[in-house]
Amino acid sequence: MAKNREHTLWLLVLLHIAIPCSSYEQKLNSIDLAALAAIKNSLTDIPGSNFFSTWDFISPDPCSTFSGITCSLNRVTALTLGTGLSDSPGLAGSLSPSLSNLTYLTQLILYPGLVTGPIPTQLDRLTNLRVISLTNNRLTGSIPTSLASLHNLHTLDLSNNRLTGSIPVGLFTALSQLKVVIFASNSLSGELPKRISAPLLHLDLKSNMLRGILPLEMPSTLRYLSVSRNEMWGPLNGLESLSDLVYLDLSMNQFNGPIPASLFRPSLTCLLLQRNNLSGGLGFVDPSSASYGEGSIVDLSHNLLSGELTPVLAGVESLFLNNNHWMGTVPKEYVDSVYRGITKTLYLQHNYITGFPLEPGRALPDTASLCLSYNCMVPPVGLTTTCPISAGGQFSRPESQCVAFNHGVGNSRH
């Protein structure tokens, strides 16, 4: 009996200890709880969304019942607003400044919806933040300069909003952990800094209103760079040291001058430079340095590039060289690449090309998309059917244009 009583006493002691500990672990910090209440009051589910249906503040354990919440030691460490599901319309409302009271937060994610208003400047209080992703909403105002004090920040994605103003320089110079910056599809203006020292891997600024030249110094760690659809100009000299690039999109700007030879390499599998004012040719590039393959895309169309083509781009799967000033005969390496099915798209229309050496009796693959119209030659039979509508209906340039062009080229050599 004594042993049974002793065993019962030990159970009561254990239960007495366990119950308060259990209830303590379930109790969310009061500051975080109040912040979540303010966040819910500033946002609302768009009809068809039910994200906030689990946010019942009577719940003794929000950390296990609230959707989008991750906790550690009774503090909110990750907050995801919205479900992110394709059939969910997302949230509306605005972002509450009370977000800054979640001081243990390491991740702040807002899924696509109709959230408006500014990004709270008080987010600089969240010194543990590593990820900020507020994409595909209707956020307005400028990017807070205070974000440049978040020294643990790794990813900053504010794409597809209505943000205006310039990009805070400190984001590119003061954050030693920043790897991913995505500000695409906003209305940002101004110029980029002359120097980017943050160790970026991914920088996407496309579809804004940025002006000026590319930074003279950029991190050699960059693998993805896009500033397409802006109003930028100047030479491409600052790109020569970016040996890790695999994706480069500078299309639809006003960049000028020659293309650096270092950009013609197989590891840079996506090179998009179309619709600029780039000039010069390919004669200075060593053809042996390139061996493109599956999935590669090079678009140099709608520029002022000139001279005779060299074999350097043979083997590119999708190659757009149209609407330039190329002349002479297309190297046989390009033709062979089309025959072998390696190059699936080759656009050469609207140039001054005089020859395309097809092999008699050898059929081109059905998958080949080849356009040679509006050059200083008559395209071979059957090689105009795969031209885009933008190529126009004229198969060859007027002879007078070809004579005038060749005469001008000849004069420029004297």
With a pLDDT cut of 70, the percent of the chain lying above it is 90
- pLDDT for the residue 145: 97
CB 197 within 8 A of CB 173: yes
pLDDT in tens, 208-232: 999 999 999 999 999 999 999 999 9
Q: How many helices (H) and strands (E) does the chain have?
A: 6, 27
Higher confidence at residue 403 or residue 322? 322
pTM of the predicted model, to two decimals? 0.89
Q: Mean per-residue pLDDT for 179-204? A: 97
Q: Across the chain, what does the average pLDDT equal? A: 90
| Lowest mean pLDDT across 5-9, 243-247, 370-374 | 5-9
Residue 290, pLDDT score:
61
- The owner of tokens 């190329």 is 326
Band of the pLDDT at 293, cuts 50, 70, 90?
confident
Looking at the chain, the domain(s) classified CATH 3.80.10.10 span: 27-111
Q: What is the CATH number of domain 258-407?
A: 3.80.10
Using the predicted structure, report yes or no on whether residue 12 has a pLDDT greater than 50: no
pLDDT over 70 (residue 1): no
pLDDT at 412: 55
**Given the DSSP bridges, would you call strands 75-81 and 107-110 parallel, antiparallel or unpaired?**
parallel
DSSP SS3 for 320 = strand
Q: Is the pLDDT of residue 117 over 80?
A: yes
Residues 6+ apart with CB under 8 A from 275: 251, 252, 253, 301, 302, 303
pLDDT, one tens digit per residue, over 298-342 is 999 999 999 999 999 999 999 999 999 999 999 999 999 999 999
As a whole number of angstroms, the longest Cα–Cα distance in the chain is 117
pLDDT for residue 170:
96
15, pLDDT greater than 50? no
With a CB cutoff of 8 Å and minimum separation 6, the contacts of 95 are 39, 42, 43, 110, 115, 117, 118, 119, 120, 134, 139
Compare 404 and 105 and report the one with higher pLDDT. Answer: 105
11 pLDDT higher than 80: no
pLDDT in tens, 25-55: 458 999 999 999 999 999 999 999 999 999 9
Rounded to whole angstroms, the Cα distance separating 329 from 327 reads 7
Minimum mean pLDDT range among 119-128, 165-174, 239-248, 279-288? 279-288
The neighbour count for residue 296, using CB atoms within 10 Å, is 21
pLDDT category at 187 given cuts 50, 70, 90 is: very high
**The pLDDT of residue 289:** 59
Greater pLDDT, 19 or 253: 253
Give the model's pLDDT for residue 407.
Answer: 72
Instruction: Name the token pair of 135.
Output: 């994409």
In this predicted structure, the answer to whether residue 280 has a pLDDT above a threshold of 80 is yes
pLDDT of 386 > 60? The answer is yes
Of residues 36 and 367, more confidently modeled: 36
Q: Which residues contact 57 (CB under 8 A, 6 or more apart)?
A: 33, 36, 37
- Higher model confidence: residue 375 or residue 363? 375
Q: What pLDDT band is residue 410 in, cutting at 50, 70 and 90?
A: low
> b vs e for 68-97, b when ≥16 Cβ sit within 10 Å of the residue's Cβ?
bbebeebbbbbbbbbbeeeebbbbbbbbbb
Alpha carbon distance 267, 220 (integer Å)? 14
Domain 27-111 carries which CATH code? 3.80.10.10
**Mean per-residue pLDDT for 103-121?**
98
**What is the mean pLDDT of the segment spanning 242-268?**
95
